[in-house]
Amino acid sequence: MDGERRPDRPAVAGAGAAGAGPIGSVAAPTGTTTRPADGASGSMTPTGPRDGPLILVADDVPANVELLFDQLHALGYRTIAADDGVSALAAASRHLPDLCILDVSMPSGDLGCDDRSTGFEVCRRIKRDPRTARIPVVFVTALNDATDRVKAIEAGGDDFLTKPHNRLVLGARVRSLLKLKTATDALEESVRKLRELEKVRDDLLKMIVHDLKTPLTSVLATLELLLDGDFGALSSTQHQVVADAEAKAEDLLRLIEDLLEIAKLEETALPLVLIPIAPIALLTEVVHEWAVRFQQAAATATIDGAGDAPIFQADKSLLKRVFGNLIQNALTHSPNAVTLRLAVRREPVGVLFTVADNGPGIPSEYQELIFRKFEQVRTLNAPRVRSSGLGLAFCRLVVERHGGRIWVKSTEGEGSAFHILLPTQPRTAEYPAISP
C-alpha cells in the first residue's frame, strides 16, 4: 500500500491511453473483459490482447493497477489483477502467468506477515512452489531504501523498480525477463524430452539384456557339457575351440550382469550387504586374488597403507569389483608392463583409497567423461582393447551408493591415480553423501 488505500475502488483493467474516463469510471478498451474470476478477491480474468503473454499485477491501489494495465496492454500483454497477498498467490497458482509485478506494501490476509512486506512473502512463496518457481517477479514499489532492494533479492525477486516508474524502462525490463523465461522454459522442455528418451533407451536396454541372459545361460551349460565329454570325447583342437567359445560366452554373461546391476544401482534398488572392513586387509586380499593376472601381465603391485586407516562399513563384494575394474583398466590400457600402487589413509570424513599406475595417462578433457556409461578414451600410446565402457560407470555408482565419491588425477604419459573417498558408515537418505 504505497500510498493511501482506497477500499471503495475495485481493481480495473484495460483502460486505454486515450479516452480514459475519470478515476472510478474507467472504461475497458474494445476486445477486453473485466469480469471477476471465480475465487480470490481482487482477481480478474485475463484482459488485453488475445494472445499476448500473461502478466499478474498485484497492488491494492486501483489507480496503480489501472496505470500498469494501460501500459502493458499497449505493449501487447494480457493482464490479471490481485489486490492483496492471498489473491496474488491464488492468481499465480491458478493462471500461471508469464511474469508477476508485485507491490511490496499491501494487505497480507492470512499470510502471517506484516502488510509492509507482503510482496516479499508472496514472492518467496511463488519461488518455493515448483509450478511457479520459474515465473519472473518484478517489484514496482514506492520503497527505495537499499535494505528493501536486498530484501527483494533475498525473496527471489528478479527486478526492482521504484514509483513513479518510467514506462519505457518497465517495458524493457519486462521484455528482457520474458525472453529469459522463454529460453529457460525451452531449455527445461529440452531436458525433459532428453530424460524421457534416456528412460526409453534404458528401459529397452534392460529388457533386451534381461531377455539375453536366459538363452546365454543355456548356451554356457551346453558348452560345459561338451568340455566335460558328456557328448563324447573331443580332440585337442575341438576342446580348445569350445573352451574359447565358453570364455567368450562368460565374458558376455558378465557384461549382461554388469548392465543389470548398473540399472539397479541407478534405481537405488541394489541393497548393500554391509560388514566391517579393515582397509589394509581388503587391499591385501585384492592383490592376492589378482596375483596370477599380475604374473601373466608382468605387472607389479604394492600396498601402501597407513596404520591408522579406520575400519569402515561397506559391501565387500561390490568394493572388490570396484578395485578389480580399476586394476583391469590399468593392465589392459597400458602398452608396457605396469606398476600399480594401492594405498589407503585416514581422512577426516572417512577413508581414502588410491589406485595409481604408471600407464599412458588420461587426457584432462576426458577425466569427467570416463565415469559415464559407454564412454571410452583412446590415447596414442594405449593399445586398442575391446571394452564395454561400463567399468568406471559401475565404480562410480557403487561408490556413490555408499555415500562416497570417486575421481581421477592424471597426466598424459605419467600415469593415473584413481581416488575413492568412503565414509566409515555408508550414507542413506538420512545422511548426506560426501561433498567434493
Region 108-133: what's the mean pLDDT?
91
Of 24-33, 118-127, 276-285, 407-416, the least confident = 24-33
What tens digit of pLDDT does each residue of 182-211 get?
898 889 889 888 888 877 777 776 677 667
Can you give the pLDDT at residue 20? 35
Can you give the pLDDT at residue 427? 64
Please indicate, yes or no, whether the overall pTM of this predicted structure exceeds 0.75: no
H helix and E strand count, the chain: 10, 12
Rounded percentage of the chain residues whose pLDDT exceeds 70: 80
pLDDT band at 15 (very low <50, low <70, confident <90, very high): very low
Can you give the pLDDT at residue 206? 67
Contact residues for 143 (Cβ-Cβ < 8 A; gap 6+): 2, 104, 105, 162
C-alpha cell at 297: 601381465
Sheet with 78-82, strands from edge to edge, namely 78-82, 54-58, 99-102, 137-141, 159-162
Find out whether 108 and 145 touch, Cβ atoms under 8 Å.
Answer: no
pLDDT band at 305 (very low <50, low <70, confident <90, very high): confident
Pairing assessment for the beta strands 312-315 and 350-357 based on DSSP bridges: unpaired
Can you give the pLDDT at residue 384? 52
pLDDT band at 290 (very low <50, low <70, confident <90, very high): very high
Phi, psi dihedral angles at 102 (to 5 degrees): -120, 135
Can you give the pLDDT at residue 314? 93
pLDDT band at 94 (very low <50, low <70, confident <90, very high): very high
Residue 420 has pLDDT above 90, yes or no: yes
Can you give the pLDDT at residue 428? 53
Pairing assessment for the beta strands 339-347 and 300-305 based on DSSP bridges: parallel
- Secondary structure string (H, E, C) spanning 180-202: HHHHHHHHHHHHHHHHHHHHHHH
Rounded CA separation 44/109 (Å): 18
Region 243-263: what's the mean pLDDT?
80
What tens digit of pLDDT does each residue of 318-328 get?
999 899 989 98
Residue 280 has pLDDT above 50, yes or no: yes
Find out whether 325 and 331 touch, Cβ atoms under 8 Å.
Answer: no
Compute the Cα dihedral for 369, 371, 373, 379 and give only its sign.
Answer: positive
Residue 244 has pLDDT above 60, yes or no: yes
Region 79-94: what's the mean pLDDT?
93
Can you give the pLDDT at residue 51? 79
Residue 197 vs residue 38, higher pLDDT:
197
